[in-house]
Structure 1
Amino acid sequence: MSSPIRPFATYRNRTELIDNVADLWWTVNDVSKEIIFELHAKTTGWIALGIAAVDGVTENADMAIGWIDAHGRLHFEDRYAVGFTLPVKDSTTQDWFGLQGREENSWTAIQFKRALNTTDSMDVPIESGMNILLFAYGLIDPNPDITYHENRRIMRELPLWKP
């Protein structure tokens, strides 16, 4: 793991999404059927994690996007990608919840959670076994909206939980 920021909590799982750029930790609570993520990225701009319905496709992807403003406040949004365009704000219910965040040493760290299955039509259920994760980041905070990530993105398939 490359982040110089200590995680907010202890997690069951972790992976380095991009060497020296992005780290992800997560734990599933089997009782509440929620997953808690912590995402660190080497940027002082926005960071995003998403769940895709189909490998290689950002269409119909459920996205969480967050950033820390100049006053140290966490901003966090539930969004939905309809394709290779700016993800729109989820117009049904807000199901991703930012818990805490901070910036240190040119890195951003955000802890957030979501139900495994929200039953929201603009969300993708987090299934047992392999899930398709999307990660992207921007170099600046939204003003007023997020900037295009250009090549600062990846797609990874990971086993997030087993019942």
Structure 2
Amino acid sequence: MNKIRSLALATTAILLGSATAHAAPSYQFTLTGGYTASWQLSATPTPGDFFSGESFTVWNVSGTFSGASTAVTDLTFFNDARGGGLSLYDFNAAVSLLSTDGPQLYSGSEAAPTFLLGTFVLTVYQETTQYSLTISEIGAVPEPGAMALLLCGLLAVGVVRRLQASQPS
């Protein structure tokens, strides 16, 4: 009985420490100024297309985009060599919604980028109109497998406690 209890407690302790996802957290993007938009992406997105040393594009991003024909656009992020910033493109209407210059919004390569957190000042391409882009962490989402293991561990602890309570002292 003590071995089962020790195993259940050890399993629960391990699972409590590892119940969060190992996947990258999601980030909230909020663009304000003369143009507004908001969307969420993984901190380490998989580009649909990239050009080493220049930019990467994430296709079909869902969100709220002013002037878009649907709630889905393509987002291109530029590195410092290309003027930084980003562009929003409405593929369905075949129209550019916004193209900005500014700081590079990611680290790593264009093939494997990781977004930076913070608030960034962007300007319309070749103009002076300014926008503010805030990138903030939403948090990691627990993986279903980790949650299932956690629940099994908690169930095992409950069974052991119930067995202990039913045995005479």
Q: Same fold (TM over 0.5)?
A: no
Higher strand content, 1 or 2: 1
Greater gyration radius: 2
TM-score (ref. length: structure 1): 0.31
TM-score, reference length from structure 2: 0.31
Which of the pair is proportionally richer in helix? Answer: 2
